Amino acid sequence: MTKIMFVCLGNICRSPMAEFLMRDLVEKLGRGDEFCIASAATSTWEIGNGVHRGTREVLLAQGIDPSKKRAVLLTKKDCSAYDYIIGMEMTNVKDILRIADNADAHKVCRLLDFTDTPADIDDPWYTGDFETTFREVSAGIRGLLSHIDAQK
C-alpha cells in the first residue's frame, strides 16, 4: 500500500484537486487498492470547509463529486504515517517541514517535481485560473504514478 498525502495552504483548491484526480486515475486503472490517498492544509484558515467552487467545477466536469471533502490540518503524525507528502509550491514544502519538525524530509517534495518541468503550482485562490491548475495537477499525478511504478 502506497500512502500519498497532498498538501496546500488551505486544502480547498489545489490539494483536494490532486487527491480526487489521483484517486480517479488509479481507480480507472483498477489499482485503487494499492493506494491510500488524502489531502490536508498547512494553515487553519479553511478547516472544516468544503472544496472551493472552482475545484468542484473542474472535478464535476470529470465526473468526480468532491462534496463530502472537508479541509483538514496536516499533522506531524500524518507526516510519519504517509510515504509521500506532496506540496504544491515551495512555501508548502517549508510549512510541511515545520509541521513535521524536520523529520521525514525525504518524503517531502512538490507535485511538479515529478514532471520534466519542476515548478510551483500557482494558487488558483489568487489567480482564479482553475483550468491551469487542472492541467498542472493532471501532469503532476501522472508523473507521480510513473515515479512510484519505477520504484518497484
What is the Cβ-side half-sphere exposure of residue 89, based on CA atoms within 13 angstroms? 13
State how far the Cα of 150 lies from the Cα of 108, in Å rounded to an integer.
18
For residue 35, give the C-alpha cell.
493506494
Does the protein bind ligand 4NP through residue 45 (CB under 6 A)?
yes
Residues touching ligand 4NP: how many (CB under 6 A)? 11
**Residue with the CB atom nearest ligand 4NP in the bound state:** 10
Does the protein bind ligand 4NP through residue 87 (CB under 6 A)?
no
Of 4, 13, 25, 26, the one binding ligand 4NP (CB under 6 A) is: 13
For residue 73, give the C-alpha cell.
490540518
What is the Cβ-side half-sphere exposure of residue 105, based on CA atoms within 13 angstroms? 6
**Catalytic residue flag (residue 123):** yes
What torsion do the CA atoms of 144, 38, 1, 94 make, to the nearest 10 degrees? 60
Residue among 13, 14, 78, 95 flagged as catalytic: 14
Does the protein bind ligand 4NP through residue 12 (CB under 6 A)?
yes
State how far the Cα of 125 lies from the Cα of 118, in Å rounded to an integer.
21
Closest of 148, 121, 107 to residue 13, by C-alpha: 121
**Catalytic residue flag (residue 14):** yes
Q: Which stretch binds ligand 4NP (CB under 6 A): 10-18, 29-37, 107-115, 138-146?
A: 10-18
Beta bridge partners of 109: 86
Does the protein bind ligand 4NP through residue 11 (CB under 6 A)?
yes
Q: Which is nearer to ligand 4NP, 8 or 100 (CB)?
A: 8
Q: Which stretch binds ligand 4NP (CB under 6 A): 3-11, 24-32, 61-69, 79-87?
A: 3-11
Q: Which is nearer to ligand 4NP, 7 or 25 (CB)?
A: 7
Does the protein bind ligand 4NP through residue 70 (CB under 6 A)?
no
